[in-house]
Amino acid sequence: MNEFASALDHVHATLAGLREQGVELRASAASLARLAATPTAAALAPAPLPVASPVVETRPLSDKPAAPTGAKAERLAELRSPVLACTLCPHLVKSRTQVVFGVGNPEAELMFVGEAPGEDEDLQGEPFVGKAGQLLTKIITAMGYARDDIYIANVLKCRPDMPPGESGNRKPKAAEMATCLPYLRQQIDIIQPRALVALGATAMEGLLGAVEPMAKLRGRWHEFNGIPLMATYHPAYLLRNQSLTEKRKVWEDMLLVLERLAKPISDKQRGFFLSKG
Ligand code: URA
């Protein structure tokens, strides 16, 4: 192993260790400030945001935010260890930096489910922290939540490997998702959110085995283990298709979620992404 690779290994091991100890890994102050911007239609626009490079902040213990407590938090913490050590897909064990368990409020009333970690998530150990994740955070903020209010997880907990010499992402295979689904099922069983949102057709395929285009799946309620499930486009789709019409479709799906959860919706929120003319 060359010096760079071993240094990188060391950084990953340190980050994983810190995370295990509950030390918060934080994005730069500038990127956090951007994410905290008021929820306006403009805030949802997928403006190119720099990918936040993780800054490890080792604050004194006394200053550390309290770790989530309660039965759900404890049960999630118990589930976390075996999932992080999972070796059910040997090819993914070889290629992954780490398992990406899930993040957020164990008491969340709303849970978002994506397909699988990408490169940023594999490196940082947290779902939806890359460009698509930053857009998801804007959607969550526009809905009136903080990212910390929600729980976010993927169907597949390891980054799908790529053939040698190829970069980028590939879609998780049905068999990989089926192998990993019990972990997500347990997360959902513990959290018992009042609603689930599947981000993209692949997440829907992983959850329900529904192999249908998102155009057919979105905008209506499905069910997973007795929990209402809304399907909508993956934020990466919105990054590729930045038309008002596509943004509005996702936003209408989120309005249905807010209505189902009996959340207050302002006129301003109702009007996001409607053409003015
Ligand atoms: N896309 C996903 O589906 N999940 C992630 O965590 C990141 C990107």
pLDDT tens sequence across 53-99? 333 333 344 455 566 779 999 999 999 999 999 999 999 999 999 99
Q: Which residues contact 115 (CB under 8 A, 6 or more apart)?
A: 154, 155, 156, 171, 172, 177, 199, 200, 202, 203, 206, 234
Q: Under DSSP, is residue 56 helix (H, G, I), strand (E, B) or coil?
A: strand
160 Cβ closer than 6 Å to some ligand 1 atom? no
Domains identified in the chain, total number: 1
For 141, the token pair is: 């903020």
For ligand 1, the distance from its centroid to the CA atom of residue 116, given in whole angstroms, is 5
Ligand 1 atom with the shortest distance to the CA of 120? 7
Minimal-distance CA residue to ligand 1 atom 7: 128
What pLDDT, in 10s, does the model give residues 26-53? 333 333 333 333 334 444 454 433 333 3
35 within some domain: no
| Res 260: pLDDT | 98
SS3 readout for 244-268:
HHHHHHHHHHHHHHHHHCCCCCCHH
157 within some domain: yes
CA angle, 248 as apex, 247 and 249 as ends, to 5°? 90
Q: Which residues contact 78 (CB under 8 A, 6 or more apart)?
A: none
32 within some domain: no
134 Cβ closer than 6 Å to some ligand 1 atom? no
Q: How far apart are CA 53 and CA 120, in angstroms?
A: 9
CATH number at residue 223: 3.40.470.10
Ligand 1 atom with the shortest distance to the CA of 115? 3
For ligand 1, mutation pick of 121, 137, 150 (most atoms within 8 Å of CB): 121
Place of tokens 């990989």: 176
Find out whether 224 and 181 touch, Cβ atoms under 8 Å.
Answer: no
For 71, the token pair is: 């039965």
What pLDDT, in 10s, does the model give residues 208-230? 998 999 999 999 999 999 999 99
CA distances from 230 to 32, 54, 69, 162, 197 (A): 28, 31, 28, 30, 5
44 within some domain: no
160 within some domain: yes
122 Cβ closer than 6 Å to some ligand 1 atom? no
Summarize the confidence of residues 256-269 as an average pLDDT: 98
77 within some domain: yes
For ligand 1, mutation pick of 99, 120, 128 (most atoms within 8 Å of CB): 128
Q: Is the pLDDT of residue 124 over 60?
A: yes
Instruction: Provide the domain limits for residue 120.
Output: 72-270
10 within some domain: no
What pLDDT, in 10s, does the model give residues 176-206? 999 999 999 999 999 999 999 999 999 999 9
What pLDDT, in 10s, does the model give residues 145-165? 999 999 999 999 999 999 999
Q: Which of 198, 237, 244 is nearest to 221 (CA)?
A: 198
> Is 177 exposed, middle or buried, given 0-12, 13-18 or 19+ CB atoms closer than 10 A?
buried
| Res 33: pLDDT | 35
Sign of the torsion formed by the C-alpha atoms of 123, 114, 244 and 276: negative
Q: How far apart are CA 147 and CA 136, in angstroms?
A: 9
Find out whether 110 and 85 touch, Cβ atoms under 8 Å.
Answer: no
Reported pTM = 0.78
206 Cβ closer than 6 Å to some ligand 1 atom? no
For ligand 1, mutation pick of 99, 131, 234 (most atoms within 8 Å of CB): 234
**Residue percentage of the chain with pLDDT more than 70:** 75
| Res 277: pLDDT | 67
262 within some domain: yes
